[in-house]
Structure 1
Amino acid sequence: MKKCFSLLVLLGCCSVMSFAQQKKSAPPAAADTAKRPAAPRPPQTGPKPYKEVITDKANTRKGLFAVHKLEDKWYFEMGDSLLGRDVLVVNRISKAPINTRAGFFGYAGDEINENVIRFEKGPNNKIFLRNISYSVYAKDSSKPMYKSVQNSNIQPIAAAFDIKAFTKDSSGFVIDVTDFVNSDNDILYFASFFKSSLRIGGVQPDKSYIADIKTYPINTEIKTVKTYAKMPAPALFPGMPSAGPAGNATFELNSSLVLLPKTAMQPRYYDDRVAYFTTEYTDFDADPQGVKDVSLITRWRLEPKEEDMEKYKRGELVEPKKPIIYYIDPHTPEKWVPYLILGVNDWQKAFEKAGFKNAIIAKRAPTREEDSTWSLEDARYSAIVYKPSEIPNASGPHVHDPRSGEILESHINWYHNVMSLLRNWYLIQASPSDPRARKAHFDDELMGDLIRFVSSHEVGHTLGLPHNMGSSSATPVEKLRNKAWVEEHGHTSSIMDYARFNYVAQPNDSIGIAGLYPRIGEYDMWSIEWGYKMLPGKTEEEEKEILNDWVKSRFNNKSLRFLHADGMDPRAQTESLGDNPMKANEYGIKNLKWIVPQLPAWLNEKGEDYKNLDQVYDEVYNTFSRYIGHAAMHIGGIYTDLKTTEQEGAVYTVVPKAIQKEAMAFIQKNLFTTPTWLLHKSIMEKVTRPVEDKISSLQDSWLNSLFSPLRLQRLIASTNRDAGAYRIDEYMNDLKKGIWSELPARKPIDNYRRNLQKAYVERLNALANITPPASGGGGGGITISFGPSVDVKKTDIISVARGTLRSLRAEIAAAIPAYSDKMSRYHLQDLKERIDRVLDPK
């Protein structure tokens, strides 16, 4: 830097000498002894001396960047050693207005944007800030492809700063970040998607300001107050006024700039058979004849202390160099804090499988007196953040290094109203076995236990674990009623399932809470072992081979299997228990029948209205509907067991015909035969109007699902692979026989069944009444898409639908003369005419 300055002085001197030489021939001017004012110096545009920029009046804080505040200006001072280093930017809401919240989003603690940035020196004493993407990658810098990828993937410059001064030893520089921090940019603050979700527009500079900037050893925290124009909510219907006001929305925002490790953690490759959350990139080196999409699992960096490495290699449990620590938001109601802590600490036994003790710990957040520097927004700290929200939920996101998948921190979102959800779940699923659940408001001990379970589940997500909806399918149904077995093993092998509570247990089984609550299970411990156990001295590729062998050796243990919830595998469903949902849900329905008559007494609150009764009664319907859905997914279902090429056996297997027919019988018995037990008169009189018909709504909904073209096409396609599969014509005949069971015996048809039969005919008519295009070529008719699209005209679906209608029409015509019941006869005559209009249009 000094050389450049000297060169500028030298050039200036040369210019003066040249000018003097040009004027040498002119006669000398008379001496002017009068004192004249010096001509004003032009403003200096380049770097100034450090003391002129960072004066004694500066308020200075030392950390990742030295932060200087001078009046209304903010300066970052950084060493040249930070140039080219990757810095993760995490932006969060720290305070939010209530009028912008969008469902689950818009609360204090919510993440609103994430970037990786890099500072570099440019020409003319500039510092450039680049926005770095790791989506495309060539790993080996010695290969020709590396240079090509770099040339085709230049990272954008997001901002430019003038160097205001160099540090005294010339090893760093000072930049003014005031304008950048005050602006509305896509490095700090909201990502565009979240702006749209919250209906906020452009920032209003006169109502926005920098509140504070704090700096720590590896991170700098920027707190700003930003006011945005608030866009009006769209009208509910065309022509109507806006559904919500415009105006302004003011947020307090926190941007964390976190220095990523100089040497990235050794990554671990993803495996579908175990499954973790991932970070992905496209690698141009991995496949010499193409490109390869690479997925790395996200996980915390857990390593033994240097002095314990040999113990670790011998298989002894050791404490990690840096444990995973979660702090409990100080705004959390005190009575729930111990349970949230237990929910975190429950994972300690899982990490022991990976060779670490005390690897994960929960603590209360320190008070201001204990640590004045601690902040919930500080990206060095992970936390469970309490949110005063009506949303009945919780979630467990995390922030990771995109280069390696290393998880750096997490803010678990804990919404206050999750307790109402827990009350409803537990009352409906476990009250037959647990008398504590037979009331509107649970005691703190019971609610605390339920909070502990949800805490453990969400922590699992922050450790990198996705939902494993298939883990509960490994448990035999009869074991769910075996007190000794279920209390020892639990009702599911993974807390990451949506298995909730043991709804199969019956009142006389005397099963205690150990057999009702979810817990850290066998799969969870295996998953943590696979993801976190260190293999010292092994390369990424060597690790991949070893881990593959681990998976293969455990593949036949169904409790250790990860099943993807793809919408076709009936083993991987939410809220489902046991290896046979039809048998499990017969017990579940038996419990619902036991619960419903007792709800008015359990939820009788003096001076209160019937809101709780309405809510729980509605949840009974929802639970019953899920039980029907568990059976329905077997029809046209496909088992998916992902494997590597050296594993024998099929990946895709059609659900056996006998099991599909069992599912059909379950639906006919429990749904299409009117479930009158749900029609509890004393409850309905208090919570539903006479015009409401929830049973018909349920029947219509599942009938539509059973007639979906995608399901019907899977039945057709399955017979191409398995001659013994459930054929579409068999399926349609079984469905018809159940829904029209009154016809052979000429029994009167009640109102619910008439509604169901009308819905059946209308749905079948829709499938059969697909007309060809008016002119040749092109499309025509309908193409129904849900997942893979199905063009009904090009399948057997129309043929089978029309054939079924012809058969039904004949049966109706034969039955009409024998019906003396007027409503039944009108009903049948009407439906015959509807079918005639489809099969014999004029």
Structure 2
Amino acid sequence: MIHLLKSKKKSIALKKTIIRLLAFTLLTTTAVAQQRQPESPAPAPAPGNGAAQQPPAMPKAGPKPYKDVITAKAVTTKGLFIVHRVEDKLYFEIPDSLFNRDLLIISRLAKAGADMRSETSMAGYAGDILNQSVIRFEKGPNNKVFIRELSFNERSKDSASDMYRAVMNSNIQPISLALDIRAARKDSLTGVQHTVVELTDIVNGDNDLFFWGGVKGKLNIGGYQPDKSYLVYVRSYPINTEIRTVKTYTKQGAPAQNMFNGVLTTNTPAAKQVTVELNTSIVMLPQIPMQPRYSDDRVGYFSTSYIDFDANPQGVKRIFFAERWRLTPKKEDLEKYNRGELVEPEKPIVIYIDPETPAKWVPYLIQGINDWQVAFEKAGFKNAIIGKIAPTAEEDSTWSLEDARHSAIVYKPSAVPNASGPHIVDPRTGEVIETHINWYHNVMKLVHDWYFVQTAAVDTAARKMHFSDALMGQLIRFVSSHEVGHTLGLMHNFGSSSATPVEKLRDKKWVEANGHTASIMDYARFNYVAQPEDSITEAGLFPRIGDYDKWAIEWGYRLVPGAKDAAAEVPVLNKWTIAHANDKRYWFGNESDQEDPRSQNEDLGDNAMKAGEYGIKNLKRIMAHLVEWTKEENEGYENLQAMHVQVYQQYSRYVGHVLKNIGGRYETLKTVEQAGQVYEPVPADIQAEAMRFIQQQVFATPNWLLDKKILTLTGSYPMDIINTLQDNTFNRLISSQNFTKLLNNQLVFGKTYSLTDLFADLEKGVWGELDTRTPVDLYRRNLQRLYVERMTFYLTPAAATIPIKRSEYTAIIRAHLVKLRAKMQAALPAMQDTVTRYHLQDMISKIDNTLAVKQ
């Protein structure tokens, strides 16, 4: 689903580097603390000559006796911090062992405010992460405790080296908050020193570190109202402390522009109040960080990165750690694990289901989680990941969805048709600490529409607007598996489906045994290639955990025996990867690759043209029954219109898959130990095949999309449908980017599909009537007009703004237009259709005007 795209080379995802200078918060805290000190009486006049005397210095405020601060009225909770509530004041008692320890702060919306988001927003729902930071408590001078916010973006490991000292001198961590020490005590049993600080003003106030980060601005929230805000509770557990608050703010509506009597006015809605419930978790990070694993661009893991000043003795190097959960065998099972026996991990990955989730979908969500168990078996672990129903209050009164120790799929009553799988990471190592998968209610609309347009031709269960619970449950299961894959660290693998030969997608025995794609992390959705006569069941239509997924989990989670650090693992991991390099089912295709047609979303098979032709056959079958299959009693034709749009969009996807072949090149990443090229052009015959598909399916008007009965019931305009298709196609074909790719491929690879080949094929597909001397209908006239507009643009002064060298392809375009004009002039006398004659005369005039412009 939706997820943050990464660049082809795992674009640098810098962690937080902006220093938060919360001067206002610090000043406010200090002022309040000073006001609460008892006032000293005014000094008496000095004896003598009556001269004015300076008052004696005020006694410096400092810690009080422990019993005077933590009184008998204190309500105390023990855990990570010892938390005391004394009437309206909140104190944290910090043992010495927690000073200078790395702690993770995570803030979330526990309950969202009414009207705080738009209908299409993916932010502003209960369960949303607002902020995360790594902090340390440290003792400072003048009876202060400082909270520093840490950055791990630049590192040097050798603390004895000059480089380490240089890096440290340029990376002092910011002090984000300062707290007065109110009291101290030494534990009579352990002898450990405890320091008491007051957090009343911090928790009752509003600051970025503990609460919102930078999210407030995105939601237009500001104007904190402390009189309408309060602390709900603070609960402390062995490794975390949870703070729950209610906070009220003003929210400014977005300005709207209106035209009235020819005057454009801007209307800014009045500000509203919005109240939210926030949960802030303070979690102790592992004292011994997990051993990280260096990322490999040939295996798709999200990564945490930093600049290393030691790795390259003559420069710097950015290091990427794969984001993974910590899985280790129990000590007593380590020998079994090393022998290759399956063992249970010391701490499995447990993902709960939000208690607010509709009960009928819970089993399918759990199945989607547990589906990954088979992949972890490849890494040597059984029962490594477990989906569970959240405990009730009677079963566990301390369990909370917002507790950072718990991972969950969070159900969100949202109109957004989507889901996403974010996770919280220890920035020191890439260790995944926990996940809150976002499950938006309307994702069911999304999967319904996909399944309808991709399989209704072959699956009778898909031929309706409301699926059975059993079918919808299986669709939910597939989405659940996909999102869980993201939380395990896996990126989208848009190249996986290209490993499956198109004809295998119609082979019932093969596809039901192997699946239509090798990875559930692809955007392959459903098997739209299967034809009715193939009799393929859901087993061959649905995605599943595939060969790539099992391999990726093995690469990320299998321990490397004897490797004491990440560097020692690299040679072993490289050998593993090379061993799978010749099997396409283990290939990773990055989602951000703009040139490799093997890496595409929503596509299937190893040949986009063949797959698209099969898909279009099925869309034509669906169009023939669309009125019938979208009909619901006592309803209008909104369903028909919506699904007609879905059919068009699915058809457009097939066209897009084909277009990426033209001017494309393959990228197969390798290390120096591997033979062969990294980059290769898409073979010329495949690019020519792609152009034939475009000629047959796009340039030849797809009238099957323009069913007159449907158009009369929905009111859709046929010209809008076809014009959009034509425009999108030429955006890809006739573009400076595509011209440049074709020219560069020819320079690097020699004989391949060229720019002149492209223009020749375009002429053949767009201007066929000039050879047959037949009338040009309206759709084709629009196509030809758009073609001339696009081509002539590159010979106008306006095209000079394109920041590339134009000389080569502009010369080819000029020659092409001269030739095309001559063909029009030769065909014009034989054209009997009046409108066609007018059209050609207009096109000749436009070309004449363009060619007459001095460059």
Q: Give the TM-score normalised by structure 2.
A: 0.90
Distance change (3 Å), C-alpha of 1:530 and 1:243 = farther
Question: Do the aligned partners of 1:427 and 1:437 also contact (CA within 8 Å) in 2?
Answer: yes
Match for 1:382 among 390, 403, 407? 407
Give distance in 1, aligned partners of 2:274 and 2:805.
49
Q: Is the 8 A contact 2:330 2:345 kept in 1?
A: yes
CA distance in 2, matches of 1:395, 1:839: 52
| CA distance in structure 2 between the partners assigned to 1:541 and 1:236 by the alignment | 58
1:176 to 192, 198, 202: 198
> Are 1:791 and 2:818 an aligned pair?
no
CA gap of 1:743–1:430, structure 2 versus 1, over 3 A, is same
**Structure 2: how far apart are the matches of 1:541 and 1:658?**
44
Q: Distance in 1 between matches of 2:166 and 2:449?
A: 58
1:593 is matched with 620
1:657 to 684, 687, 700: 684
Q: How does 1:94-105 map to 2 (within 5 A)?
A: 94-101=110-117, 103-105=121-123
Q: Which runs of 5+ in 2 are unaligned?
A: 1-46, 49-55
The aligned counterpart of 2:102 is: 86
Is the 8 Å Cα contact of residues 50 and 168 (structure 1) preserved in structure 2? no
1:109 to 89, 113, 127: 127
Which one of the candidate residues 165, 168, 172 is aligned to 2:183? 165
* Aligned 8 A contact 2:596 2:667 in 1: yes
Is the contact made by 1:638 and 1:653 (CA closer than 8 Å) also made in structure 2? yes
Q: CA deviation at 1:235?
A: 3.1
Alignment match of 1:156 (pick from 152, 165, 174): 174
Aligned pairs for 1:674-753 within 5 A:
674-690=701-717, 693-753=720-780
Distance, in Å, in 1 between the alignment partners of 2:110 and 2:697 is 50
* Structure 1 residues 717 and 44, CA gap change in structure 2 (3 angstroms): closer
- The structure with higher relative contact order (CA 8 Å, sep 6+) is 2
1:558-597 per-residue CA deviation (whole Å, 9 max, x = no partner) reads: 1001111311100000011001111111100000011111
Cα deviation digits, residues 225-268 of structure 1 (max 9, x gap): 22222123133579432475532222211111110000100000
Alpha-carbon deviation of 1:522?
A: 0.2
Contact 1:224 1:252 survives alignment (8 Å): yes
Q: 1:334 Cα shift? A: 0.5
Deviation (angstroms), 1:610: 1.5
Q: 1:582 to 1:237 in 2, by over 3 A?
A: farther
Deviation at 1:654, TM superposition (A): 1.1
State the Cα distance separating 1:379 from its structure 2 match: 0.3
Distance 1:452 1:183 in 2: 42
Equivalent residue for 1:10? none
667 and 691 in structure 1: CA distance in 2 versus 1, 3 angstrom threshold? closer
> Which segment drifts farther, 141-150 or 655-664?
141-150
The 3-state SS of whatever aligns with 2:212 is coil
* TM-score normalised over the length of structure 1: 0.92
Residue in 2 that maps onto 1:584: 611
Residue 807 of structure 1 is aligned with which of 782, 803, 819? 819
1:311 aligns with 2:336: yes
Question: For 1:598-613, what aligned pairs fall within 5 Å after superposition?
Answer: 598-613=625-640
Number of the residue aligned with 2:847: 835
SS of the equivalent of 1:315 reads coil
Amino acid at match of 1:189: F
User: What residue number does 1:548 align with?
Assistant: 574
**Structure 1 partner of 2:79:** 63
Q: Residue 476 in 1 paired to residue 501 in 2?
A: yes
User: Counterpart in 1 of 2:320?
Assistant: 295
2:51 aligns to what? none
> Which of residues 522, 527, 531 in structure 1 aligns to 2:547?
522
For residues 179 and 227 of structure 2, the distance between their equivalents in structure 1, rounded to whole angstroms, comes to 23
CA distance in 2, matches of 1:266, 1:448: 38
Question: 2:182 and 2:462 mapped to 1: Cα distance?
Answer: 67
Q: Is the 8 A contact 1:184 1:203 kept in 2?
A: yes
Alpha-carbon deviation of 1:683?
1.2
2:234 aligned residue: 213
Query: Counterpart amino acid of 2:245?
Result: T
Higher mean alpha-carbon deviation, 350-359 vs 66-75, is at 66-75
User: Structure 1 residues 465 and 42, CA, compared in 2 at 3 Å: closer, same or farther?
Assistant: same
For residue 63 of structure 2, give the secondary structure of its aligned residue in structure 1: coil
Label 1:797 to 1:248 Cα distance change in 2 as closer, same or farther (>3 A): farther
CA distance in 2, matches of 1:142, 1:746: 84
1:816 match: 828
Indicate the percent of aligned positions where both proteins have the same amino acid: 57
With 720-729 and 618-627 compared, the bigger mean Cα shift is at 720-729
**Contact residue 300 and residue 492 of structure 2 kept, 8 A:** no
1:336-351 aligned at under 5 Å gives the runs 336-351=361-376
**Matching residue's letter, 1:255:** T
* Distance in structure 2 (CA, Å) of the matches to 1:388 and 1:686: 32
Aligned to 2:590: 564
SS in structure 1 at match of 2:374: helix
1:133 to 127, 136, 151: 151
For the 8 Å contact 2:258–2:267, the answer to whether it is kept is no
Report the Cα distance in structure 2 between the residues aligned to 1:459 and 1:782, rounded to whole angstroms. Answer: 48
Match of 1:229 in 2: 250
SS in 1 for 2:209: coil
- Give the counterpart letter for 1:497 in structure 2: D
Alpha-carbon distance in structure 2 between the residues aligned to 1:640 and 1:120: 49
Residues 387 and 416 in structure 1, CA contact (< 8 A), matched pair in contact too: yes
Matched residue SS, 2:313:
coil
Q: Which 10-residue stretch deviates more, 725-734 or 419-428?
A: 725-734
Deviation, 1:737, is 1.5
Query: Deviation string for 1:29-65 (max 9, x for gaps)?
Result: xxxxxxxxxxx99777111111100011011111111
CA distance in 2, matches of 1:691, 1:325: 52
Distance in 1 (alpha carbons) for counterparts of 2:735 and 2:684: 19
Take 2:528 and 2:162, find their aligned partners in 1: how far apart are those partners?
60
In the alignment, which of 211, 227, 233 is matched to residue 189 of structure 1? 211
Report the 3-state secondary structure (helix = DSSP H, G, I; strand = E; otherwise coil) of the residue aligned with 1:272. Answer: coil
| Matched residues, number | 790
Q: Is the 8 A contact 2:114 2:274 kept in 1?
A: no
Q: Tell me how far apart the structure 2 counterparts of residues 735 and 191 of structure 1 sit (CA, whole Å).
A: 53
* CA distance in 2 between partners of 1:302 and 1:580 (Å): 39
The answer to whether the Cα contact below 8 Å between 1:480 and 1:491 also exists between their aligned partners in 2 is yes
Q: CA, structure 1 residues 802+236, in 2 after alignment: closer, same or farther (shift >3 Å)? A: farther
613, 620, 626: which one aligns with 2:647: 620
Secondary structure of 1:815's counterpart equals helix
Cα distance, 1:173 vs structure 2: 0.6
Q: Which moved more, 1:624-633 or 1:67-76?
A: 67-76
Question: How far apart are 1:538 and its partner, in Å?
Answer: 1.1
AA at the equivalent of 1:437: A
Q: Find 1:50's aligned residue among 47, 60, 66.
A: 66
**Structure 2 residue identity aligned to 1:385:** V
Q: 1:394 pairs with 403, 419, 434, which one?
A: 419
Q: Offset at 1:71? A: 1.7
State whether structure 2 residue 392 is matched by structure 1 residue 370: no
Among 342, 348, 351, the alignment partner of 1:326 is 351
Contact 1:782 1:792 in 2 (8 A): no
Cα RMSD, aligned residues only: 1.8
Task: Find the structure with the greater CA-based Rg.
Answer: 1
Q: Does 1:147 align with 2:165?
A: yes
Contact 1:233-1:245 at 8 Å conserved across structures: no
Task: Kindly state the Cα deviation for residue 99 of structure 1 after the two structures are TM-superposed.
Answer: 1.9
Q: Tell whether the 8 Å contact from 1:490 to 1:518 is kept in structure 2 after alignment.
A: yes
Instruction: Tell which deviates more after alignment, 528-537 or 405-414.
Output: 528-537
- Return the offset for 1:800: 1.8
After superposition, where does 1:626-637 map in structure 2 within 5 Å? Answer: 626-637=653-664
Aligned equivalents of 1:755 and 1:310: distance in 2?
A: 72
Inter-partner Cα distance in structure 2 for 1:180 and 1:74: 10
Equivalent residues of 1:783, 1:792 under 8 A apart: no
Query: Counterpart of 2:484 in structure 1: which amino acid?
Result: V
